[in-house]
Amino acid sequence: MSVPESHPRYHSLKMRELIIEGMEKGLVAKAGLIAHGRGEAFDYMMGEKSLPPAIRASRAAAAMLASAQKPVISVNGNTAVLAVRELVELSGLLGAPLEINLFYRTEERIARLTEFLEEHSASNILGAEPDNKIPGLDHDRALCCADGIYSADVILVPLEDGDRAKALADMGKMTIVIDLNPLSRSSKTATIAIVDELTRAIPMLAANVRELKGLSSQSPADLDKIVGEFDNQKNLSDIIQEMSGYLSSI
């Protein structure tokens, strides 16, 4: 199946196609289809665009990533198939590894995702040989790499499951979550939640990182100030206000 570019919902249908193909290739878990659908519903409620609070969150997240000592990008099936190029670009910009971190972990899916990332020129991939655990999580969901998530100071966890986002916060990590649902536990427990669609959010984040890193006048104190001024609870309530405003204007 191929979606004609003239279709008014081209981008949305294209993403569905990528997720379905990703599942058929063993990259995306079945539950990934459901997670994507939940995201689509929230995107409708924000007019399928990046709202001002998400733009502010992206700026704060970029400052946090730009000043991180050891940033890591967590990757799952959905994020890989939707935004592989942008994730690889961000990984290069930050010198941050891409750690494959799956809720429904199977060795086969890890191998396929590793291959998929390599095909897209990712050079810094972790996750195939986890040698540590995130405390407080059971079974395979706890597995992580000592050199990656376990020792990172800032972790970008797009579409993370709420339980694991909380466990990372309990470890003292600073987490940046990308999630269209402002009510999710992931959004609430993140240090910074960017409530936006992944394929809009990752390029915006990369552009902000590029800009902040490129500003020679930007001191570590300036970056800390941008991060310090960000209040996640307030930002989530701003997003909800924006969404209700949008819905009542229809």
Binding region for ligand ATP (CB under 6 A): 35-36, 38-39, 42, 82, 159, 161-162, 178-181, 184-186, 197-198
Give the separation between CA 124 and CA 142, rounded to whole angstroms: 21
- Name which of 56 and 200 has its Cβ closer to ligand ATP: 200
> What sign results for the dihedral spanned by CA atoms 33, 41, 114, 190?
negative
Q: Which does 198 bind (CB under 5 to 8 A by kind): Mg ion, ligand ATP, none?
A: ligand ATP
Shortest approach of ligand ATP to residue 150 CB, angstroms? 21
Q: Does 114 bind Mg ion (CB under 5 A)?
A: no
Helices (H), the chain: 10-24, 30-44, 52-66, 77-94, 107-119, 162-170, 185-189, 198-214, 220-228, 232-248
Q: Characterize 76-99 residue by residue with b for buried, 16 or more Cβ atoms within 10 angstroms of its Cβ, and e for exposed.
A: bbbbbbbbbebbbbbbebbebbbb
Q: Which does 92 bind (CB under 5 to 8 A by kind): Mg ion, ligand ATP, none?
A: none
Q: Does residue 143 sit in helix, strand or coil? A: strand
Q: Which of 186, 189, 208, 235 binds Mg ion (CB under 5 A)?
A: 186
DSSP label of 4: -
Q: Which does 109 bind (CB under 5 to 8 A by kind): ligand ATP, Mg ion, none?
A: none
CB–CB of 91/73 below 8 Å?
yes
Q: By rule CB under 5 A, what string of x and - marks binding of each residue 136-175 to Mg ion?
A: --------------------------x-------------
Q: Which of 74, 91, 184, 208 binds Mg ion (CB under 5 A)?
A: 184
Give the separation between CA 82 and CA 12, rounded to whole angstroms: 11
Q: Does 47 bind Mg ion (CB under 5 A)?
A: no
- Name which of 140 and 147 has its Cβ closer to ligand ATP: 140
CB–CB of 73/175 below 8 Å?
no
Which residues pair with residue 38 across a beta bridge?
none
- Name which of 114 and 187 has its Cβ closer to ligand ATP: 187
- Name which of 99 and 197 has its Cβ closer to ligand ATP: 197
Give the separation between CA 46 and CA 195, rounded to whole angstroms: 10
Q: Does residue 42 sit in helix, strand or coil? A: helix
- Name which of 26 and 162 has its Cβ closer to ligand ATP: 162
Count the site residues for Mg ion by CB under 5 A.
3
- Name which of 93 and 171 has its Cβ closer to Mg ion: 171
